[in-house]
Amino acid sequence: MKSLPLLVGLGALTAASSVFAWDYVLLDTDKAAQNQQITSQQLGVKTDKPFTVTMRTLHGGRQEGVSIIDIDNGTMKLSVVPTRGMNVLQASVGDVRMGWDSPVKDVVNPAFIELNGRGGLGWLEGFNELVARCGYEWVGHPGMDNGELLTLHGRAANIPASKVTLQIDEKPPYAIRLKGELKEQAFKKVDFSVQTELVTEPGSTSFSLNDTLTNNGDYPKEYQALYHSNFSTPFLEQGARFEAPVKQVSPFNDKAKGDLGDWQTYRAPTSDYDETVYNIVPYGDAKGDTLTVLHNKAGSLGVSVGFNTKQLPVFSLWKNTDTKGQGYVTGLEPGTSFSYNRRFQRPLNLVPTIAPKEQRQFQISYSLLADKGAVDKALGQVKHIQDGRETEVRKEPLVDLTKEQ
Amino acid sequence: MKSLPLLVGLGALTAASSVFAWDYVLLDTDKAAQNQQITSQQLGVKTDKPFTVTMRTLHGGRQEGVSIIDIDNGTMKLSVVPTRGMNVLQASVGDVRMGWDSPVKDVVNPAFIELNGRGGLGWLEGFNELVARCGYEWVGHPGMDNGELLTLHGRAANIPASKVTLQIDEKPPYAIRLKGELKEQAFKKVDFSVQTELVTEPGSTSFSLNDTLTNNGDYPKEYQALYHSNFSTPFLEQGARFEAPVKQVSPFNDKAKGDLGDWQTYRAPTSDYDETVYNIVPYGDAKGDTLTVLHNKAGSLGVSVGFNTKQLPVFSLWKNTDTKGQGYVTGLEPGTSFSYNRRFQRPLNLVPTIAPKEQRQFQISYSLLADKGAVDKALGQVKHIQDGRETEVRKEPLVDLTKEQ
Amino acid sequence: MKSLPLLVGLGALTAASSVFAWDYVLLDTDKAAQNQQITSQQLGVKTDKPFTVTMRTLHGGRQEGVSIIDIDNGTMKLSVVPTRGMNVLQASVGDVRMGWDSPVKDVVNPAFIELNGRGGLGWLEGFNELVARCGYEWVGHPGMDNGELLTLHGRAANIPASKVTLQIDEKPPYAIRLKGELKEQAFKKVDFSVQTELVTEPGSTSFSLNDTLTNNGDYPKEYQALYHSNFSTPFLEQGARFEAPVKQVSPFNDKAKGDLGDWQTYRAPTSDYDETVYNIVPYGDAKGDTLTVLHNKAGSLGVSVGFNTKQLPVFSLWKNTDTKGQGYVTGLEPGTSFSYNRRFQRPLNLVPTIAPKEQRQFQISYSLLADKGAVDKALGQVKHIQDGRETEVRKEPLVDLTKEQ
């Protein structure tokens, strides 16, 4: 335990020193979000890379009242949005930016979004994040299921976080943990909570999400999760490649059939391309761990997205290589499910159930691959996990969408 | 009239002394809700039971910005939610709590609810109150009526109160009155206002609602009102009973037919029970006053809900004796109407009309029956009102719901 | 350039002196709306009519958090609502008020409105302005188009303005310009921004809107705009008249056919009248400029609405001469389009397209005609523009609404 003389006078900050970490409550029932900053210097932490965590509030437009938490770990700068499901707005190392340029420029307060608008596509009015949580009652395209309109990708990205806390380990490597709880609750319908966690370390070019879904209810409930992780330039470009240990790949729909031969490579920004989506069943290693990689054409810069196939057994590759203005972006999307409406996924056994009081963990790690060495090392891991196993390339979509009414 | 030297320095409080009462504006167009407290001590009131009224604001999650007014009358503690239709969140005397445990834990700001979501069941995302106002354009189950989707139980519970005032009588028994106005207005559609009032007295174990609906418009309008009053343990338990002077009782739907024989008693928390609802036409006394009672199995603890059958001629008994986690709760619901969609209630003559500039009053009193004596006394009143008159037990629902399309 | 010693101590105000104007940022991403005032006296401006600009915030009810900017130019008082699309709430000169009395009394925060509610008529829950911007993805009555429910009159009136600035020219006539940006953005759907501007001058009885719509996207997009400009007494009364240079007039629907003979005159408040609407194609002068006039029966008081037919080629005359309580009001509505659902307007060639990065300007000027001389002068302009050209009076609506399903 450590005394915190440097915190005297910080006012808004309440630091509780636990055995292992400094704890700050940034937002809670009786504590409003407010502009504040916590620095390694204040904590008396000597690291090669001084770090800073800053909380601020946005104003104007549809972003009125939105909270942002900026974490600068000394090397990587991350922005997290408590008001929008603890989504990761962006991350950057120097001038290399993970994330993308959506036409949506505001960080939109969910108070101003009707998810049921636009035929269930209201979610698109706020979509601009590097990582947007999808779930947890459902994910996928809008449409009727059990007599109810399921809106695009569920509610998680538009649930403001309840209690938000920051923990900083007191010992090297001084891990920085930002936690926020999402409550997805409706009488008779659902009683989920999701304890989200983002972890990074001073000087690191990686961060991890470590989410725990709890079914607080007394009944088993269907659930779905999908981590919509979106990248653009400098990773995405003509000739950029996606690599993963693949057991099965199939086109999402008829449109994607046409480009199936090139499913692992990307186009330049292409007018009228819209999007193609490929459904992937990845291989994991003995523990289920797997790794997916996006790298530029030269193989000199990339990102990896790692996850566990026992937690998130399938993966959607979203290739939205339309024009820059329309949103030149690819989504690497580990999930319990693909992006079909829930009613199409039950026959695929991709609508799992969570028993009363049970929990599910979803852990995803994001790393910048800053040079050819890092890219090659990650591609080596992919090959190692594939381990010579076969890849089934299905020519037809798993779902006959023409049966949709 | 009384001078208020003790209020000097309270800052936010503006007390205007009228002939009979201290008046405080807690919220108005030019006055934001803020943390504040008014106490009997400040007022120089000497009562056996000192009282306190506190205003606070909730933060985080979907409750961001929600105002709560806590009234501690010295014996009973009440929490009222201006941001949610002046609903009564809960009331308690010692460790006896009126109210229930909904899966919805936040006190949800209506800004985050789409009432039209979930096929018109969006209301369920905020439902957790002891008393939730339903109305006033309509109440009842979602469904189409006149080409419009009527959402569950109308808008009242999700209308933030405009001007909120606190009045405390200057003379014994120093009645405490909390008022808040709800505006239910849409061009060409509706021009209602509801002056809500909650009244209690220092040391009392009762409170009353005294609402006045005004049709400010120039045309007669249909209206409906229902006071969704919800109780759980320690009143609700296996063998708990409901008593009222009953002229007619009928099952709400086919499901309720099965339990009709036991309509007045309750089950323990029962897995997969969901709910049964009974439609009741109560008898009133010569003035129309009536009393309904819920008491535990031993008859040693209960609550009574009193109202006037000229104001609120029908009553729904909602028996949601599912598991505790799902929401173990019963609703005692006096209303102008049952809980059917409005289109089913017109043929039952349960969709009244309010003429231009007319008003309707809805007065409901809630009392804790703290011991067997109090329970027995209330049951005596019920019997007195029944006065030996017959109870018609209808075996079939009043409405053929299979005709719903 | 001018030094601003008088601004020292204003705190919240940041005045940047440009070559031509004082610039104040009233609202921006990092600047919350707050109560503040800017006066000609502070600026050291000597005008016959001292002016004042005030920003304030509303509380309570569904107007919680709404910002209002009041401009008193010394003669005319204007209220603009940044939270509601920079709509003009009202304008008045002495006791003559431009605007009307809607049953909607709150200035409703869009966070509390479901535009998709009431079958797409949710917009009516906030409608009470003198000028409500309609557009820009669509305008018109709710209904399905391309598989999506288009809600009444689009989103503009319910988009909170992003960066809001006030500019005051440093030289006579010291024009006062209030600007606010509206972002209408949804991934894959739309990427519009609208730079709104309201201009008035000290001592003037006029104001102008000068809006610039930009399609930031990479694809051509359909758009529509309509300026819903609403007036009541003292202009509107029995025998009041509407005058404009008219090329074609037609009834909006069958109901309006009945009153076609009297389309230019108004009734007294009339029970059960509801509304009639006339579709007008105005003539413009050589530059396309045109003028429309509403004046009282005596011709001694009126308002003019001027616009350019190249920007806004059509005009809806909305005659809602129902009772005062229901809303006794007429709308003078220049637009790209009439008020039919968008799907009906394509065959009329009233759904224009805006190319990528292109802009469209919409300029409308509103003037009080304070006496008979001013009214006569405006009517002379109307006659001058008409220039003896014929008016086609069509007896049938342009659209067969019975084909609506």
Best of A144, A158, A188 to substitute, by most chain B Cβ atoms within 10 angstroms, is A188
Average pLDDT over residues C9-22: 53
Q: Is C233 exposed, middle or buried (0-12, 13-18, 19+ CB in 10 A)?
A: middle
| Closest to C307 (Cα-Cα) out of C356, C372, C374, C245 | C245
Report the C-alpha gap between B139 and B151 in whole angstroms.
Answer: 8
pLDDT given at position C16? 52
Q: Is C326 left (phi over 0), alpha (psi -120 to 50) or beta?
A: alpha
pLDDT given at position B13? 40
Report the C-alpha gap between A34 and C237 in whole angstroms.
Answer: 52
Which residues of chain B are within 8 Å of residue A116 when distances are taken between CB atoms? Answer: 114, 116-117
CA distance between the termini of chain C:
62
pLDDT given at position A170? 94
By C-alpha distance, the chain C residue nearest A117 is C116
pLDDT given at position B210? 98
Chains A, B: CB contacts within 8 A come to 99
Cβ distance of A62 and C190 shorter than 8 Å: no
Which residues of chain A are within 8 Å of residue C187 when distances are taken between CB atoms? Answer: 102-104, 124-125, 127-128, 327
SS (H, E, C) A130-157: CEEEEEECCCCCCEEECCEEECCCECHH
Residue of C148, C160, C216 with shortest CB distance to A103:
C216
* CA distances for B141 relative to B124, B152, B331, B354, C117, angstroms: 11, 5, 15, 22, 16
Number of residues written out for chain C: 405
Domains of chain C: 19-224 (2.70.98.10), 229-334+370-404 (2.70.98.10)
What is the four-CA torsion angle of B121, B123, B126, B130, rounded to 10 degrees?
-120
Average pLDDT over residues B160-176: 97
Retrieve residue C95's tokens.
């006791």
pLDDT given at position C7? 30
Which residues of chain C are within 8 Å of residue A64 when distances are taken between CB atoms? Answer: 65, 160
pLDDT given at position B334? 98
Average pLDDT over residues A52-69: 98
Cβ distance of A185 and B106 shorter than 8 Å: yes
Rg of chain B over all Cα atoms, to the nearest angstrom: 21
Average pLDDT over residues B227-249: 98
Cβ distance of A159 and B127 shorter than 8 Å: no
Report the C-alpha gap between C17 and C5 in whole angstroms.
Answer: 12
Cβ distance of B327 and A163 shorter than 8 Å: no
What 3-state DSSP class applies to B403? helix
Retrieve residue C395's tokens.
């007896």
pLDDT class for C403, splitting at 50, 70, 90? confident
pLDDT, one tens digit per residue, over A230-251 is 999 999 999 999 999 999 999 9
Residue of A33, A185, A356 with shortest CB distance to B125:
A185
By C-alpha distance, the chain B residue nearest A182 is B61
Residue B90 has pLDDT above 80, yes or no: yes
Residue of B58, B61, B117 with shortest CB distance to A183:
B61
Cβ distance of C109 and B114 shorter than 8 Å: no
Report the C-alpha gap between A173 and A203 in whole angstroms.
Answer: 9
Residue pair B385/B291 in contact (Cβ under 8 Å)? The answer is yes
Residue B10 has pLDDT above 80, yes or no: no
Residue pair C173/C201 in contact (Cβ under 8 Å)? The answer is yes
pLDDT given at position C178? 98
Residue B4 has pLDDT above 60, yes or no: no
Report the C-alpha gap between B34 and B164 in whole angstroms.
Answer: 12
pLDDT, one tens digit per residue, over B350-395 is 999 999 999 999 999 999 999 999 999 999 999 999 999 999 999 9
Report the C-alpha gap between C287 and C284 in whole angstroms.
Answer: 7
Residue of C64, C65, C104 with shortest CB distance to B187:
C104
Q: What is the separation of C-alpha C278 from the centre of its chain, rounded to a whole number of angstroms?
A: 18
pLDDT given at position A292? 98
Retrieve residue A333's tokens.
């999307």
Residue pair C208/C198 in contact (Cβ under 8 Å)? The answer is yes
Cβ distance of A151 and B63 shorter than 8 Å: no
pLDDT, one tens digit per residue, over B290-342 is 999 999 999 999 999 999 999 999 999 999 999 999 999 999 999 999 999 99
Q: How far is B83 from chain C (nearest CA, A)?
A: 8
| Closest to B48 (Cα-Cα) out of B206, B203, B168 | B203
Which residues of chain B are within 8 Å of residue A218 when distances are taken between CB atoms? Answer: 271, 322-326
Element (H, E) at A92: strand A87-93
Retrieve residue A149's tokens.
């309109």
Average pLDDT over residues B53-62: 98
Which residues of chain A are within 8 Å of residue B124 when distances are taken between CB atoms? Answer: 186-189
Which residues of chain B are within 8 Å of residue C120 when distances are taken between CB atoms? Answer: none
Mean per-residue pLDDT of chain C: 94
Cβ distance of C28 and A60 shorter than 8 Å: yes
Percentage of the residues of chain C whose pLDDT score is greater than 70: 95
Report the C-alpha gap between A78 and A130 in whole angstroms.
Answer: 10
Cβ distance of A61 and C159 shorter than 8 Å: yes
pLDDT, one tens digit per residue, over C312-358 is 999 999 999 999 999 999 999 999 999 999 999 999 999 999 999 99
Residue A17 has pLDDT above 90, yes or no: no
Residue C1 has pLDDT above 80, yes or no: no
pLDDT, one tens digit per residue, over B254-302 is 999 999 999 999 999 999 999 999 999 999 999 999 999 999 999 999 9
Best of C155, C165, C188, C216 to substitute, by most chain A Cβ atoms within 10 angstroms, is C188
pLDDT, one tens digit per residue, over A134-166 is 999 999 999 999 999 999 999 999 999 999 999
By C-alpha distance, the chain A residue nearest B320 is A188
Q: Is C187 exposed, middle or buried (0-12, 13-18, 19+ CB in 10 A)?
A: buried
Residue pair C20/C44 in contact (Cβ under 8 Å)? The answer is no
Task: Give the ipTM.
Answer: 0.94
Neighbours of chain A (3+ CB pairs under 8 A): B, C
Residue of B114, B127, B325 with shortest CB distance to A216:
B325
Report the C-alpha gap between A190 and B239 in whole angstroms.
Answer: 28
Residue A405 has pLDDT above 50, yes or no: no
Retrieve residue C182's tokens.
């509206």
By C-alpha distance, the chain A residue nearest B113 is A111
By C-alpha distance, the chain C residue nearest A100 is C187
Cβ distance of A57 and C33 shorter than 8 Å: no
pLDDT given at position C404? 58
CA distance between the termini of chain A:
62
Residue pair C207/C75 in contact (Cβ under 8 Å)? The answer is no
pLDDT given at position B2? 35
**DSSP bridge partners of A334:** A315
Residue of C103, C119, C323 with shortest CB distance to B187:
C103
Rg of chain A over all Cα atoms, to the nearest angstrom: 21
Long-range CB contacts for residues C6-12, cutoff 8 Å, separation at least 24 = C6/C41, C6/C42, C6/C43, C6/C44, C7/C42, C10/C36, C10/C42, C12/C36
Residue of A58, A103, A114 with shortest CB distance to C187:
A103
Neighbours of chain C (3+ CB pairs under 8 A): A, B
Name the more confident of B19 and C204.
C204
Query: CA angle, corner B190, sides to B187 and B196, nearest 5?
Result: 125
Cβ distance of A116 and C116 shorter than 8 Å: yes
Retrieve residue B248's tokens.
């007619």
Residue pair A248/A391 in contact (Cβ under 8 Å)? The answer is yes
Q: How far is C323 from chain B (nearest CA, A)?
A: 7
Retrieve residue B218's tokens.
């120039």
Report the C-alpha gap between C192 and C359 in whole angstroms.
Answer: 10
pLDDT, one tens digit per residue, over B339-352 is 999 999 999 999 99
Cβ distance of B183 and C61 shorter than 8 Å: yes
Cβ distance of C125 and B186 shorter than 8 Å: yes
Q: What are phi and psi of C235, to 5 degrees?
A: -80, -45
| Closest to C126 (Cα-Cα) out of C149, C156, C97 | C156
pLDDT, one tens digit per residue, over B171-199 is 999 999 999 999 999 999 999 999 999 99
Q: To which residue do tokens 């509505």 refer?
A: C333
Query: What amino acid occupies position A385?
Result: I
Percentage of the residues of chain B whose pLDDT score is greater than 70: 95
Residue C220 makes CB contacts below 8 A (sequence gap 6+) with C353, C354, C355, C356
**DSSP assignment, residue C258?**
H
pLDDT, one tens digit per residue, over B106-146 is 999 999 999 999 999 999 999 999 999 999 999 999 999 99
Can the peptide bond before residue C136 be classed as cis, meaning omega within 30 degrees of 0?
yes
Residue pair A65/A109 in contact (Cβ under 8 Å)? The answer is yes
pLDDT given at position A138? 98
Q: Is the torsion defined by CA of C134, C135, C140, C143 positive or negative? A: negative
Percentage of the residues of chain C whose pLDDT score is greater than 90: 93
Q: How far is B403 from chain A (nearest CA, A)?
A: 17
Rg of chain C over all Cα atoms, to the nearest angstrom: 21
Cβ distance of A187 and B118 shorter than 8 Å: no
pLDDT given at position A67? 98
Average pLDDT over residues A13-31: 78
pLDDT given at position C8? 29
Q: What are phi and psi of A243, to 5 degrees?
A: -130, 140
Q: How far is A336 from chain C (nearest CA, A)?
A: 24
Neighbours of A119 (CB within 10 A): 17
Query: What amino acid occupies position C332?
Result: L
pLDDT, one tens digit per residue, over B197-217 is 999 999 999 999 999 999 999
Mean per-residue pLDDT of chain A: 94
What 3-state DSSP class applies to A336? coil
Name the more confident of C251 and C48.
C251
Report the C-alpha gap between A394 and C399 in whole angstroms.
Answer: 50
Residue C17 has pLDDT above 70, yes or no: no
Cβ distance of B114 and A111 shorter than 8 Å: no
Q: How far is B401 from chain A (nearest CA, A)?
A: 17
Cβ distance of A31 and B62 shorter than 8 Å: no
Residue A3 has pLDDT above 90, yes or no: no
pLDDT given at position A47? 87
What 3-state DSSP class applies to C363? strand
Cβ distance of C191 and A56 shorter than 8 Å: no
| Closest to B316 (Cα-Cα) out of B296, B295, B340, B297 | B340
